Amino acid sequence: MIPKEILRKVKQIEIRTRGVVNNLFGGEYHTVFKGRGMTFSEVRQYQPGDDIRLIDWNVTARNSSPFLKIYEEERELTVYLLVDISNSGQFGSINKLKKEFAAEIASVLGFSAINNNDKVGLILFSSAIEKYLSPKKGKSHILRIIRELLYTVPRKNDTSIQIALEYFLKVSSRRCVVFLISDFLDDSYWSSLKVANRKHDLIGIKISDPFEKSFPNSGVLKVKDAETGSSFWIDTSSKKQMKELKNEMKEREINLKRKVKKIGFDLISLSTDKDFVEPLIKFFRSRERRL
């Protein structure tokens, strides 16, 4: 039986995220992804006002006049939420755990999808596949997704994005829109990411906590890695140690951005101390301009 506390949280998230979807976000989702499930139908002659990006240059050259490719939109898309629920998600220095933040983002995306008459599937992962829900429609299905996000206790502590992507590639039989939500505290996933990014419309959402980037001056602290269980001491009053740590984090971020750009992988970086709606809308609008 699901505890009342979890049900209360599910309701709170539903109310909060449905408001965001209805007032701000739903139109952005539809605009960006409405053309993702398109199949070629025919060509016809160009008419004033048509989108020149759809011109079929081969047919145009043969006929000495412009022709357009006509596509039919598929009735529905399949959206997958791949969400990291490893132990690092239990961290939160402000007012929200990274896991709770991820649940809210997934909820907004899920409600946006069903409002667009799309199916939504869920894969929860750590270094193992913790839960799989096959793609379905409907509000009750999204509420179950939220419950699983909040209620599922991972069997493993650490993270393997590679295992999540390889499992997804096995269960997905058609091109999908995929949101990979994680703190990306993992390294051995690039080969699987390249494959998934080529076969599907893959979007990464990287979640961080401000405390992970900048420690407050609290003297000597014992820091424990939630995934490995290892601990280390750090002197937050030491300018030298803080500078070394900051440089290490900065270098890691630079390397991630470089690899992301190289393979054309869309990655959104979000922090638990800031609202996620505006950055998501900004990203989708910029993505729409690239289509």
Q: What is the mean pLDDT of the chain?
A: 82
- Categorize the per-residue pLDDT at 50 as very low, low, confident or very high, splitting at 50, 70 and 90: confident
Give the model's pLDDT for residue 126. 95
Give the model's pLDDT for residue 81. 97
**pLDDT > 70 fraction of the chain, expressed in percent and rounded:** 79
pLDDT of 198 over the 90 cut: yes
The pTM of the full predicted model, rounded to 2 decimals, is 0.77
Tell me the average pLDDT across 18-35.
67
Give the model's pLDDT for residue 92. 67
pLDDT of 6 over the 70 cut: no
Of the two residues 154 and 93, the one the predictor is more confident about is: 154
- Categorize the per-residue pLDDT at 218 as very low, low, confident or very high, splitting at 50, 70 and 90: low
Of the two residues 123 and 34, the one the predictor is more confident about is: 123
pLDDT of 42 over the 80 cut: no
- Categorize the per-residue pLDDT at 187 as very low, low, confident or very high, splitting at 50, 70 and 90: confident
- Categorize the per-residue pLDDT at 222 as very low, low, confident or very high, splitting at 50, 70 and 90: low
Tell me the average pLDDT across 200-227.
75
Give the model's pLDDT for residue 209. 86
> What does the H/E/C string look like for the chain?
CCCHHHHHHHHHHHHHHHHHHHHHHHHHHHHHHCCCCEEEEEEEECCCCCCHHHECHHHHHHHCCCEEEEEEECCCCEEEEEEECCHHHHCCCCCCCHHHHHHHHHHHHHHHHHHCCCEEEEEEECCCEEEEEEEECCHHHHHHHHHHHHHCCCCCCCCCHHHHHHHHHHHCCCCCEEEEEECCCCCCCHHHHHHHHHHCEEEEEEEECHHHHCCCCCCEEEEECCCCCCEEEEECCCHHHHHHHHHHHHHHHHHHHHHHHHHCCEEEEEECCCCCHHHHHHHHHHHHHHC
- What's the CATH number of domain 4-32+75-290, 3.40.50.2300, 3.30.499.10, 3.40.50.410, 3.75.10.10? 3.40.50.410
Give the model's pLDDT for residue 231. 66
Give me the residue spans of the domains in the chain.
4-32+75-290, 38-73
> How far is the C-alpha of 87 from the C-alpha of 154, rounded, in Å?
8
Give the model's pLDDT for residue 235. 67
Give the model's pLDDT for residue 224. 58
